[in-house]
Amino acid sequence: MKPKIIYRYVAGKFWLPFFFSMAIFCILVLLGDFFENIKDITNGYATLRLILKYCFLNLPGWLGMLLPVACLLGSLFVISDMIAGGEWTACLASGYRPRQLFAPLVICVLFVLLCNGLLQEYALPKINIKAEETYYKKLRGKTDFKQGVKKDVTLRLSEYEMMFAQKIETDSSVMQGITLDTYNKQWEIQTQITAEKMTWDGGRWILKNGYKRDFDDGINIKETVFDSMPSPLKISPANISVGETDENTTIRELLKKISFLGRSGLVTYKEKTDLHNKLATPVMTVLMCLLGMPFATTMRKKGKVINIIAALVMSFSFWWVMTMAATAGKSGLLSPWAAGWGVVIVCFTAVLIQFKLMKI
């Protein structure tokens, strides 16, 4: 049999179990979200249609967690089905090595991960915005809800300068409720500026409607009222990144947040750990499939049920280990690089040992 034919055949068998697994997982997620939000049906705003709309808008955010399990299940089902039908034995008798039969499945997994990566980076942010608007404005009835607004933000402008903002509107380049404190080397306050708001005006931030206090050894205070004053903040609105990150934060947003926090002199353990985890997860998915596929070849005809159990156990085990490593990285106990890639290195080593021992 020509190699291209067998490769297309193996790859074609991957999609049915993969999409079936994804459909089951998506239904479970939708049901979970639905029953979580159905309690709001009596609040005077939520309707059954709105709840279903929010559940479907929230679904793409779960794909990053569901895809690794579905990819592994799809790969194991293909191998189990080929073994049960005698196709696996026929391919080996024709001179194919197991790793050659694994290759089409790996290519399918890589294609799935590429599509998911594009979705996460370019489509998901817009979907999340729509989901948040549906949740807060329509399900919760908060008509004053606005995207891009962060409250009670603290920034470090320089070694001895701190800024507090009651509200930052990144979309409109406005900060409200500003307090700027300048300290000496003994962290005694020297100057405090309080302003009603701060706006971005042609390349610089301008403080509006406030007063400046100069402290003389903490005893004498000189207060000056102003209508407008340049701010020491140099970062443009496009480079400002505030608020918490999560699993749905894009790589571009994480890089922007890390750069912004670095300029502000703040720690970036959490953001760097999230970045390395996001980059490592696709690699981990491929390695998890490579670790599971040889296992499926040892189970022979009785392996379908066992493969399902093995896929779930492996997926949740790796997810638990990566979650624990991520927690250690975000708290500073592990370096962000080790928290994200440590499990990948261990899994890669296990794959190499397994392939060598089984002569795949």
| 158 and 230 housed in the same domain | yes
pLDDT, position 111: 96
Classify residue 137 by burial, with Cβ atoms within 10 Å: 0-12, 13-18, 19+: middle
87 domain-assigned: yes
pLDDT, position 172: 65
183 domain-assigned: yes
| 221 and 277 housed in the same domain | no
| 137 and 155 housed in the same domain | no
| 14 and 137 housed in the same domain | yes
pLDDT, position 355: 84
| 202 and 326 housed in the same domain | no
pLDDT, position 304: 61
| pLDDT mean values, one per 10 residues, the chain (360 residues) | 79 93 93 84 78 90 88 88 85 86 93 93 89 84 76 80 84 84 84 90 87 77 87 80 77 87 77 91 91 76 63 77 86 88 90 81
For the stretch 272-297, what's the b/e string if a residue is b when 16 or more beta carbons lie within 10 angstroms of its beta carbon?
A: bbbbbbbebbbebbbbbbbbbbbbbb
- Tell which of 237, 258, 288 closes a domain: 237
| 170 and 295 housed in the same domain | no
330 domain-assigned: yes
| 106 and 136 housed in the same domain | yes
Q: Which domain holds residue 71?
A: 3-141+269-357
Number of domains within the chain: 2
248 domain-assigned: no
